[in-house]
Amino acid sequence: MTVLLKQTETEAPPAPPMHVSDAATPLRARQPMAAHMKCLPGDARPVLPYPNGWFAACFSHELKRGAVLIRPLMEREIVLYRTQSGLVRVIEPYCPHMGAHLGHGGRVEGENLVCPFHRLKFGPEGGCVHTGRAGPTPRMALTARHAREHNGLVFTWVHHEGHSPSWELPVHDMSGWSRPAFVHHEQEGYFQNSGENSVDVIHFDTIHRFGQPEMSARVVDNQLEVRMSATLMGKPMFLHLTNYDAATMYGHFTVPSLGLQAVVRAYSTPNTRLRWSLRIVTTLKVERFARWPAGVRSALYALMKPLAGVWSDRTSHQDTRIWDHRGLPGSFKLMAEERPAALYQRWVSQFYSCDFPGVKPSATDRPLHKET
Ligand code: FES
Ligand SMILES: [Fe+2]
């Protein structure tokens, strides 16, 4: 049986389709961003609108069989549950019968979700399958969201114009690498800070103490590919980083002289106004370990796994003390060496259903991301 609940890269079994309504996401015509900006009391920073795409809702290991979780997402709540066979479902919180919040007292019974109010049961396809009372089973269903589970996380799709998923995040095969270290931060400030971080060449020097960073960026297959060389404690290091959408980043670090590689995957999720979650998954590979017996290798990687977590935790804290208080992203006054940041602004604008600060509307008319 496929084990889904441990901190592994194991994938979920293919889920049978569940009726998914895109109507839960309000339709909205493309408008200037200013129309969507709001200010919080006591905080002069405007709240930016949220992008479209896939957003991490939790780590897979948080959603055990039979578990029901509530997660914030873009000023609303979503409910996640996992059936006893391991299927993951992400739904709108409210029962279609009389509106009970299914995250407060809802429970999994086998493959069904049972509402805490009148105990109607809803099957994995979303429809009501049992009332416990005489008479026909009513035609009503949960409002499901598009969901995926891979790379150790559960994702849900958001599109502010009600479109179904038009791209997929890649599944990464990390066999031969250390087991992943998981880090989760609750952040203040702008969700957009995370993606912009990946193209901010100067901060790798001033914040992370990499020596002499040099960066280039280009759009390849609709993804923003970043290359950086620098030194780390005097040793040459290289970073190949891919931004898949406004929320998802994959970074591959290499220090050739040490035979050391690290893959850092970062997933950003806007929770509510100026609050967001940053989930980081770090895996390591040491080339010389490949020559050693599998038992020794896995013992060494087990020792290194906490170090990977500490390193990614420490590195992200170097950023977040700036991010928590940073002003409006987007409208930059960039210097000559910061062309990757300018390219990022144009590239990321495709994920918004309104104009993005600093990007001319003509650059956002035609989405760069392919419909699949
Ligand atoms: S509100 Fe859910 S069963 Fe009645
Ligand atoms: Fe950073």
Residue 101 sits in a domain whose CATH number is: 2.102.10.10
Closest listed ligand to the CA of 128: 1
| Strand ranges in the chain using DSSP code E only, listed in sequence order | 38-40, 43-47, 53-59, 68-73, 76-82, 88-91, 107-109, 112-114, 121-122, 128-130, 144-145, 147-150, 153-158, 181-188, 211-220, 223-232, 235-245, 248-255, 260-272, 275-286
pLDDT at 330 (0 to 100): 67
Q: With 70 as the cut, is the pLDDT of residue 24 above it?
A: no
Q: Of ligand 1's atoms, which has the minimum distance to the CA of residue 95?
A: 2
- 7 confidence band (pLDDT: 50, 70, 90): very low
Longest dimension (CA), the chain: 75
Query: Nearest bound ligand to CA 100?
Result: 1
Mean pLDDT calculated for residue range 261-287? 94
Q: Are residues 325 and 241 both part of a single domain?
A: yes
Let me know whether 211 and 335 are in one domain: yes
CA 335 from chain center: how many Å?
30
Residues 206 and 345 in one domain: yes
Q: Which of 4-18, 59-73, 301-315 has the lowest mean pLDDT?
A: 4-18
* Residue 115 dihedral angles phi and psi, to the nearest 5°: -75, 140
Atom of ligand 1 nearest to the CA of 118: 3
**Choice from 91, 102, 118, 130 to test ligand 1 binding pocket (greatest atom count within 8 A of CB):** 118
Name the residue among 84, 132, 76 with its Cα closest to residue 103: 76
Structure confidence at residue 29 (pLDDT): 41
Neighbours of 118 (CB within 10 A): 13
Q: Please tell me what DSSP assigns to residue 149.
A: E
- Residues 188, 154 within the same domain: no
What is the model's pTM?
A: 0.85
Q: Is the pLDDT of residue 258 over 50?
A: yes
pLDDT-based confidence at residue 312 (cuts at 50, 70, 90):
confident
Does residue 355 fall inside a structural domain? no
pLDDT of residue 361: 44
**Is the predicted pLDDT of residue 10 greater than 70, yes or no?**
no
Rounded distance from Cα 315 to ligand 2 centre (Å): 7
Average pLDDT of span 90-100: 98
| DSSP code of residue 28 | -
Give the model's pLDDT for residue 153.
98
Does residue 144 sit within a domain? Answer: yes
Sheet containing strand 88-91, strands side by side = 68-73, 76-82, 88-91, 144-145
Report d(CA 67, CA 83) in Å as an integer.
8
Do 137 and 230 fall into the same domain? no
Give the per-residue pLDDT at 159. 96
Ligand (nearest to CA of 280): 2
**What's the mean pLDDT in 4-23?**
41
Instruction: Please check whether residue 14 lies inside any domain of the structure.
Output: no
- Is residue 20 domain-resident? no
CATH code where residue 266 lies: 3.90.380.10
Same domain, yes or no: 215 and 143: no
Q: Which atom of ligand 1 is nearest to the CA of 99?
A: 1
Tell me the CA–centroid distance for residue 90 and ligand 1, in Å: 18
Structure confidence at residue 315 as a pLDDT band (50, 70, 90): confident
Confidence at residue 329, expressed as pLDDT on a 0 to 100 scale: 74
Please state the domain count of the chain: 2
Q: Given the CA of residue 98, which atom of ligand 1 is nearest to it?
A: 1
CA of 99 to the centre of ligand 1 (A): 6
Residues touching ligand 1 (Cβ under 6 Å) are 95, 97-100, 115, 117-118, 120
Residue bearing the CA closest to ligand 1, atom 1: 98
Residue with CA at minimum distance from ligand 1 atom 4: 118
What residue numbers bound the domain in which 303 lies? 181-349
Do 185 and 334 belong to one domain? yes
367 domain residue, yes or no: no
Tell me the CA–centroid distance for residue 196 and ligand 2, in Å: 9
**Minimum-distance ligand to the CA of 93?**
1
Quick one: 149 and 196 in the same domain?
no
At residue 296 the predicted structure's pLDDT band, cuts being 50, 70 and 90, is confident
Sign of torsion over alpha carbons 111, 116, 122, 126 = negative
